[in-house]
Structure formats: structure tokens, C-alpha cells
Amino acid sequence: MEGSVKYLGAGIAMIGALGAGIGLGLIFSAWISAIARNPAAEAKFRLTGYLGFAVTELVMLMCFVIAMMIMNAK
Amino acid sequence: MASMFEEFEIHSLSAPLFTLGGHPVAFTNSTLFMLLAIVASTCLMVVAMRPQALVPGRWQMVAETFYNMIASMVESTAGEKAKPFFPLIFSIFIFILFCNLLGLIPGSLAVTSHIVINFAIAIGLFLIIIIAGFVNQGWHFLQIFAPPGVPVPILLFLVPIELFSFLVRPFSLSVRLFANMLAGHILLGVFAGMTISLLAAGWFLKPLGVLPLVANIAITGFEFFVAFLQAYIYAILAAVYLRDAVESH
């Protein structure tokens, strides 16, 4: 087979994005439940919601960075 | 065939100006866009607030919205004692926001898609937080690693973990912004490449070339949202880390 194993490595590295996907689903489901229970206090949930989204997204981005590093190896 | 990373390359736009530790320092396209971001943001804040009307006009509303958003966020996250740090958080927010937005202009360089720039801001913020923590609280600042009332066996595990997660903060801040901007621009590039491939194919594939173009338009809209959100997230996390420095537990 022509080519290098680094493509396989990059593909395996991106499996870690699964965890981030599940985590994001949990964050947004809690956010929606919170807004549904108390629509008047929506502004209070916004800060925590965006913060949780960004911190969870970081897991997926770390996987992407590792995949890019593997793809650019010699 | 150009590599997929060609849009992220840094070129010198001038001859080397001076040498710093054996490395020539020149005026690069990265410098140009950072300068543009600073000039644009300064113009926005200064010129927009010139009327100083009680009932704001359109531009004054924009400047006041930025100010109020960050001011209320810093006060609610880091407390009353963090007010002297508001110019720092606001500068970080506005600089990253304008750098992100300028990167969306076709043909420009997204300054924040290089990790070194994000890391420089994050390390500067990290050092300010450590120094401010020791100045405000003295040796009590180290209590963030060992909260009072924790039994000693748990402390043996807790302190290394807390120390590690504290030291990882500048890396996580910078990598979050870097990877978001890098991934966004690569995505735009991938769909643009798809459009060109479809338009260069046979006659029956040419009409399909409009689909990746529509996707590209949608992704550009999404990238505007991500540019704003990532700048705001950077500011929020900077305020959260600042709370460790100014508030004693």
C-alpha cells in the first residue's frame, strides 16, 4: 500500500472528538433544561453556558491539534 | 500545487530592521494585521465615543455595548476587587476580537491562527495573575493549591493535580483560540477547493459547484460568530483566573 501510516494515525487521533461531542450534548441539554424551567433568568445561564461550551470544545480541539501534528510529521 | 497551509504563512514585507539574539526582525504581514487590529479598535472606541450623547447614536451604542458587556462580566466573575484589571481584560478582548475578524477578510492573515501570538498574550496574563496574587495575598495565594480543611493524605494527591491544572492554563487558553481559528480557516479552504474542483469537472458536475459555495457562505457566517465567541471566552476565562488572584478563598 502506497502512502504513510500517518494518515491512519491522524484518523485514530480524531476518535477523541467523540467524548467532546457527548460532553457538548450534555452541556446544551442542561442549558436548555435550565432555560425551560426558569425562562426569566436566561441571562444568568448564558455566561456559564458559553464557558462550559468553550472548555468542552477544547478537548476536541486538542485532538485536532494532535492530528495536525501527526499529519505534518516526516 | 499549493499546500493547504499556504494562507497561514508569514512573509516579511520589509528588509530586516534589527537583529534580536541572532534572529532578524522584520515587518511581516503578521505585524501588519496586528497593527491594523489596534488601529481599527482604537478608531472605533475613540471616534465612536466622540459625540458623548446621553442617548447614544449607532456607533456610540456599539462602543458602549462592548464596554458594558466586558465590565459586567468582569464584575460578576471576578468581583469588585478586580475592577483595576478591567482595562487588561478589555484590551485582550478587543485585540483578539479584531484580529479574529480581520482574519476573515479573504486574502488576509488570521493573526490569532498562529499559536505564538496567543501564547504570548496568555503567558503575559498568567504572569500578571501570579504577580497580582502574591502582591494582594502574600503567601496565602498558595492556598489555591491546598484549600484549608483538606486531610493530609488527600493533599498528597490534590496538590500535584491542582498545580498541573494551574500550569496548563496559558496553554489551554492559547490552544483553544489557535485551534478554533485554524480549523475555521481550513474548513473555509476545504469548501473553496471543493467548489473549484466541481467547477473544473465535466458539464454535468458544474451546476453542483454551487452547493459548496453555499456551504462556504454559511460557514463564513458561522466563523463571524466563532470569532466573537472565542474572544469573549478568552475574556471570561481571563476573568475567572483573575478571581484566584484577587479573591482570597
Question: Among candidates B40, B89, B35, B57, which has minimal Cα distance to B238?
Answer: B89
Helices A42-71 and A17-37, axial angle in degrees (round to 10): 170
DSSP β-bridge partners for residue B25 = B18
List pLDDT tens digits, range B182-205. 999 999 999 999 999 898 888 888
Best interface-test mutation with A: which of B236, B240, B243 has the largest number of A CBs within 10 A? Answer: B236
Chain A hits for B70, CB-CB cut-off 8 Å, are none
Instruction: Indicate the Cα dihedral angle B178, B179, B185, B189, nearest 10°.
Output: 140
The domain limits of chain A are 6-69
Percent of chain B with pLDDT strictly greater than 70: 98
Length of chain B: 249
CA distances (Å), origin B17, targets B20, B25, B28, B121: 10, 6, 11, 23
Chain A hits for B69, CB-CB cut-off 8 Å, are none
Chain B hits for A58, CB-CB cut-off 8 Å, are 172, 175-176, 179
The domain limits of chain B are 6-246
pLDDT for the residue numbered B2? 60
List pLDDT tens digits, range B95-138. 999 999 999 998 899 999 999 999 999 999 999 999 999 988 88
pLDDT for the residue numbered B65? 93
Contact B17, B25 (CB under 8 A): yes
DSSP conformation class of B1: -
Higher pLDDT, A3 or B200: B200
- Give the span between the Cα atoms of B3 and A72, in whole angstroms: 11
pLDDT for the residue numbered A3? 75
Helices B86-102 and B58-78, axial angle in degrees (round to 10): 130
List pLDDT tens digits, range A5-37. 889 999 999 999 999 999 999 999 999 999 999
DSSP conformation class of B114: S
Chain B nearest-CA residue for A72: B5
Higher pLDDT, B21 or B95: B95
Chain A nearest-CA residue for B235: A51
DSSP conformation class of B77: H
Whether B37 has a pLDDT exceeding 70, the answer reads yes
Q: Which of A47, A50, A65 sits opposite B229 (nearest CB)?
A: A50
For domain A6-69, the question of CATH label 1.10.3720.10 is answered with no
Across B211-235, average pLDDT: 94
CA distances (Å), origin A15, targets A30, A58, B179, B180, B242: 24, 14, 17, 18, 34
| C-alpha cell recorded at residue B212 | 459548496
- Give the span between the Cα atoms of B68 and B171, in whole angstroms: 28
List pLDDT tens digits, range A41-60. 888 898 889 989 988 999 99
Provide the pLDDT confidence category of residue B51 given band limits of 50, 70 and 90.
confident
Provide the pLDDT confidence category of residue B35 given band limits of 50, 70 and 90.
very high
Q: How far is B152 from chain A (nearest CA, A)?
A: 30
Contact A64, B178 (CB under 8 A): no
Q: What count of CB pairs under 8 Å joins A to B?
A: 37
The reply to whether residue A64 touches residue B179, judged by beta carbons under 8 angstroms, is yes
List pLDDT tens digits, range B131-176. 999 988 888 888 888 888 888 888 888 899 999 989 999 999 999 9
Helices (H) and strands (E) in chain B, counts: 7, 2
Across B202-218, average pLDDT: 89
Whether B1 has a pLDDT exceeding 50, the answer reads no
pLDDT for the residue numbered B179? 92
Mean pLDDT of chain B: 90
Whether A40 has a pLDDT exceeding 50, the answer reads yes
Across B57-83, average pLDDT: 90
B12-36 per-residue burial string, b: 16 or more CB within 10 A, e: under 16:
eeeeeeeeeeeeeeeebebbbbbeb
- Give the span between the Cα atoms of B225 and B57, in whole angstroms: 24
Kind plus residue range of the DSSP H or E element containing B185:
helix B169-199
The reply to whether residue A54 touches residue B176, judged by beta carbons under 8 angstroms, is yes
The reply to whether residue A61 touches residue B180, judged by beta carbons under 8 angstroms, is yes
| C-alpha cell recorded at residue A57 | 470544545
Task: Please report, as a single letter, which amino acid is at residue A58.
Answer: L
The reply to whether residue A62 touches residue B175, judged by beta carbons under 8 angstroms, is yes
pLDDT for the residue numbered B249? 63
pLDDT for the residue numbered A13? 93
Chain B hits for A64, CB-CB cut-off 8 Å, are 179, 183
